[in-house]
Amino acid sequence: MNKILIVEDNEMNRDMLSRRLQRKGFDTKMAINGEEALSLTRQYRPDIILMDMSLPIIDGWEATRFLKKQEETKNIPIVGLSAHAREIDVIRGKKAGCDAYETKPVDLDSLINTIKTLL
Ligand SMILES: [Mg+2]
Protein backbone atom coordinates (compact mmCIF):
# COMPACT_ATOMS: atom_id res chain seq x y z
CA MET A 1 0.00 0.00 0.00
CA ASN A 2 1.41 3.38 -0.98
CA LYS A 3 2.01 5.77 1.89
CA ILE A 4 1.02 9.41 1.61
CA LEU A 5 1.97 12.13 4.07
CA ILE A 6 -0.60 14.94 4.05
CA VAL A 7 0.77 18.23 5.36
CA GLU A 8 -2.08 20.65 5.93
CA ASP A 9 -2.86 23.05 8.77
CA ASN A 10 -6.58 23.30 8.05
CA GLU A 11 -8.23 20.48 9.99
CA MET A 12 -11.26 20.14 7.72
CA ASN A 13 -9.17 20.01 4.52
CA ARG A 14 -6.74 17.60 6.13
CA ASP A 15 -9.36 15.14 7.38
CA MET A 16 -11.36 15.22 4.19
CA LEU A 17 -8.33 14.64 1.98
CA SER A 18 -7.12 11.84 4.21
CA ARG A 19 -10.48 10.05 4.16
CA ARG A 20 -10.84 10.38 0.41
CA LEU A 21 -7.34 9.05 -0.22
CA GLN A 22 -7.82 6.15 2.20
CA ARG A 23 -10.98 5.24 0.31
CA LYS A 24 -8.85 5.13 -2.85
CA GLY A 25 -6.59 2.59 -1.16
CA PHE A 26 -3.74 4.73 0.15
CA ASP A 27 -2.23 4.63 3.61
CA THR A 28 -2.13 8.17 5.02
CA LYS A 29 -0.59 10.11 7.86
CA MET A 30 -1.12 13.77 8.64
CA ALA A 31 1.16 16.58 9.70
CA ILE A 32 -0.24 19.94 10.81
CA ASN A 33 2.79 22.15 10.17
CA GLY A 34 6.13 22.16 8.40
CA GLU A 35 8.09 21.11 11.44
CA GLU A 36 5.92 18.05 11.97
CA ALA A 37 6.22 17.30 8.26
CA LEU A 38 9.99 17.00 8.60
CA SER A 39 9.91 14.69 11.62
CA LEU A 40 7.07 12.53 10.23
CA THR A 41 8.87 12.16 6.90
CA ARG A 42 11.79 10.61 8.75
CA GLN A 43 9.57 8.28 10.83
CA TYR A 44 6.84 7.33 8.36
CA ARG A 45 8.95 7.21 5.17
CA PRO A 46 6.09 8.23 2.84
CA ASP A 47 6.13 7.34 -0.86
CA ILE A 48 4.79 10.80 -1.63
CA ILE A 49 4.14 14.03 0.26
CA LEU A 50 1.21 16.41 -0.29
CA MET A 51 2.45 19.75 0.98
CA ASP A 52 0.23 22.72 1.68
CA MET A 53 2.40 25.80 1.13
CA SER A 54 0.90 28.14 3.73
CA LEU A 55 1.74 26.47 7.04
CA PRO A 56 2.69 27.63 10.52
CA ILE A 57 6.15 27.27 12.13
CA ILE A 58 7.91 26.16 8.92
CA ASP A 59 6.04 26.92 5.70
CA GLY A 60 5.67 24.53 2.78
CA TRP A 61 8.35 26.18 0.66
CA GLU A 62 10.95 25.96 3.39
CA ALA A 63 10.00 22.39 4.36
CA THR A 64 10.19 21.34 0.69
CA ARG A 65 13.59 22.97 0.21
CA PHE A 66 14.86 21.21 3.33
CA LEU A 67 13.55 17.75 2.33
CA LYS A 68 14.98 18.09 -1.18
CA LYS A 69 18.43 18.86 0.25
CA GLN A 70 18.62 15.79 2.48
CA GLU A 71 20.10 12.64 0.98
CA GLU A 72 17.51 10.34 2.62
CA THR A 73 14.44 12.37 1.63
CA LYS A 74 15.36 14.12 -1.63
CA ASN A 75 13.83 11.40 -3.84
CA ILE A 76 10.40 11.50 -2.21
CA PRO A 77 8.04 13.25 -4.64
CA ILE A 78 6.36 16.35 -3.23
CA VAL A 79 3.08 17.74 -4.56
CA GLY A 80 2.63 21.37 -3.56
CA LEU A 81 -0.94 22.33 -2.64
CA SER A 82 -1.98 25.93 -2.67
CA ALA A 83 -4.94 28.19 -3.19
CA HIS A 84 -2.61 30.40 -5.20
CA ALA A 85 -2.94 29.31 -8.79
CA ARG A 86 -1.07 32.15 -10.44
CA GLU A 87 1.81 31.12 -12.63
CA ILE A 88 4.27 32.88 -10.34
CA ASP A 89 3.12 30.68 -7.43
CA VAL A 90 3.52 27.50 -9.46
CA ILE A 91 7.02 28.58 -10.45
CA ARG A 92 7.83 29.41 -6.84
CA GLY A 93 6.63 25.96 -5.74
CA LYS A 94 8.65 24.18 -8.41
CA LYS A 95 11.71 26.27 -7.53
CA ALA A 96 11.44 25.13 -3.91
CA GLY A 97 11.58 21.56 -5.23
CA CYS A 98 7.94 20.54 -5.66
CA ASP A 99 7.65 17.81 -8.30
CA ALA A 100 4.10 18.90 -9.09
CA TYR A 101 1.64 21.53 -8.01
CA GLU A 102 -2.10 21.26 -7.46
CA THR A 103 -4.41 24.12 -6.62
CA LYS A 104 -6.96 24.13 -3.83
CA PRO A 105 -9.79 23.32 -3.52
CA VAL A 106 -8.33 19.99 -4.54
CA ASP A 107 -9.76 18.22 -7.58
CA LEU A 108 -9.45 14.61 -6.40
CA ASP A 109 -9.25 13.06 -9.89
CA SER A 110 -6.51 15.46 -10.92
CA LEU A 111 -4.63 14.87 -7.67
CA ILE A 112 -4.85 11.06 -7.99
CA ASN A 113 -3.56 11.31 -11.56
CA THR A 114 -0.63 13.41 -10.38
CA ILE A 115 0.10 10.98 -7.53
CA LYS A 116 0.05 7.99 -9.88
CA THR A 117 2.39 9.73 -12.29
CA LEU A 118 4.89 10.43 -9.53
CA LEU A 119 4.82 7.03 -7.78
MG1 LIG B 1 -2.52 26.26 5.03
- Residue-level pLDDT at 91: 85
**Ligand 1 centroid, distance to 11 Cα (angstroms):** 10
Q: Give the sign of the dihedral formed by CA 34, CA 39, CA 42, CA 45.
A: negative
**Ligand 1 centroid, distance to 81 Cα (angstroms):** 9
**Ligand 1 centroid, distance to 54 Cα (angstroms):** 4
Q: Each residue's pLDDT tens digit in the chain (119 positions)?
A: 999 999 999 999 999 999 999 999 999 999 999 999 999 999 999 999 999 999 999 999 999 999 999 999 999 999 999 887 778 888 888 899 999 999 889 999 999 999 999 99
- Residue-level pLDDT at 86: 79
**Ligand 1 centroid, distance to 38 Cα (angstroms):** 16
Number of separate domains in the chain: 1
CATH number, position 33: 3.40.50.2300
Q: How far apart are CA 18 and CA 89, in angstroms?
A: 24
Dump the DSSP string for 36-87: HHHHHHHHH--SEEEEESS-SSS-HHHHHHHHHHSTTTTTS-EEEEES--SH
State pTM to two decimals. Answer: 0.96
Q: Containing domain of residue 66, as a range? A: 3-118
**Ligand 1 centroid, distance to 53 Cα (angstroms):** 6
